[in-house]
Each structure stands twice: as C-alpha cells, then as structure tokens.
Amino acid sequence: MTPPPAAPTPGPAYDPLTPPPPPPTRRKPRTKLIAASWGAGGLVLGLILGSVGTQSDDTPAVTLPSAASTTASTTEDPATPSPSAVEPTTEPADDEPTPTPDAAAEGSRSAPFTIGETVGNEDWSVTLGEPTEAWKRVKAENQFNDPPADGFEFYLVPVTATYIGDESGFAWLDLRVKFVGADGVTYEDRCGMIPDDLDDVGELYEGGVAKGNTCVVVPEGAEGLWTLTAGWSDPVFFVAGS
C-alpha cells in the first residue's frame, strides 16, 4: 500500500509574477575590531593618566622644551635651515680697473712752468725773467712816480718776446703779465713809468724781438704764481725761482 504524499510545508505567500526578495545581507562581525581599538585606546589613556597621576603637585603642567628637544626639532624640520647652513653672499669682484686721474696740463696752475722757460703760440715765443722788487728803480726812473700803497710792492718782470707770426704784432698790446696770489686773487695794476718799458717797443714783423720790463703791484711778501697771456689765448702759469 502506497503511503499518502506528505503535506506541503507552509511558506510565505508571494505573487508568482514578482521575484522573491533578495536574501538579507550578512554584516561582518566588527565587534572584535571595535573592542580591540577601544582596548588599545584604553591602554594608552591609562598610561597617560597614570603618568599624570604620578607627577608631583609642585611640577608645572606645561614646561618649555629643552635645548636638546629644540635642536632635534630644528634638525628634523628641513623647511627651516639653521643659521650655520646659510652661506654668505659675496659680491662679484669688479674686474674693471680704476681710472687714473689725468695729469695736470703743463703750464696750468697745478703744474706751472718755471720762470726762464720759453713758451709760445702761433704768433709769439716768450721768455720771462726773474721778477724783482723794484721801488727804488721805479722811483729813480721818474721822481713823480707814487710809491706802492701800504702792504704792496712793485715788481719788475723782464720779458723777451719774438714775433713768429705771418703778419705783425705789438708786444705791449698782445702780451700781458699778471700775478696770482696764494689767496686766489689776480693782481695786474701797473707801477707808473718804469725803466726799459716793454710798451716802448714798436711794431714787430716775423723774427722781430722785443726786450723790456713790465711792472706789477703785488701784496708785500706774497707767495703766488706769475701768468702770461698772449693775445686771446688762456694764460699760462710760471713759478719764480727761490
């Protein structure tokens, strides 16, 4: 005799046209990991609290870093170089030589000629003689000559001038002798009638020579230089002998 078929097991009813819901997702067991993390954190927290609890009540809670810790921190931080690591900057050397000042022009106030040296231009060749104090000679030339003012002297300067130009010239008109004192002042006043006056020499042509004296009023005992001007040229300077 055949046993009757087993009765069907009751289950959830669903629409045969609707797919069954997916089985529930199983969650991973995180309980142990969280517990382990809390366990490690608790251990660290316990160590910190234990360390704080063992400190003396007299010890401040915050202390400045020691020199050793500061040095270690500075060494580990590559963004902040130590002062010893900074190399000093050096300006590049200037290879250009220092210019040498030009030498003073001959015959200038800084580099005067010596009395007795012959100088000239395209028209004249001139030599000055040694200047001398000359009141007695000037007075002897004309008794009506006035003496120099107080603090001044008469100085005669011998002049020898040769005309070398293409036309003609007058020494008394073209040549002028003056005195420049150490005070920077130019003195050029004349002394009156003088012996062998250069002004008495007439017109000269090429090769003609004029010899005579010129006289200048200068400060008594003054030091300075003598100048000669020929025509419109700049003056040249002379220093008298000692």
The CATH number linked to 130 is 2.60.40.1240
pLDDT at 85: 53
- Residue 118 identity: T
Q: Is residue 170 situated within a structural domain?
A: yes
Q: Is residue 205 situated within a structural domain?
A: yes
pLDDT tens profile 95-139: 676 766 677 899 999 999 999 999 999 999 999 999 999 999 999
What number of other Cβ atoms are within 10 A of residue 145's Cβ? 17
Q: Is residue 133 situated within a structural domain?
A: yes
Q: Is residue 232 situated within a structural domain?
A: yes
Q: Which domain holds residue 146?
A: 121-239
Q: Is residue 96 situated within a structural domain?
A: no
Question: Which secondary structure element, helix H or strand E, spans residue 213, and what is its range?
Answer: strand 209-219
| pLDDT(73) > 90 | no
Q: Is residue 8 situated within a structural domain?
A: no
Record the pTM.
Answer: 0.59
Q: Is residue 89 situated within a structural domain?
A: no
Taking all residues of the chain, what is their mean pLDDT, rounded to a whole number? Answer: 76
| Phi-psi label, residue 84: left if phi above 0, alpha if psi -120 to 50, beta otherwise | alpha
The DSSP code sequence of 129-142 is ---EE-HHHHHHH-
Task: Report the number of distinct structural domains present in the chain.
Answer: 1
Q: Is residue 112 situated within a structural domain?
A: no
Cα distances (Å, whole numbers) of residue 204 to 159, 166, 167, 209 = 15, 11, 9, 7
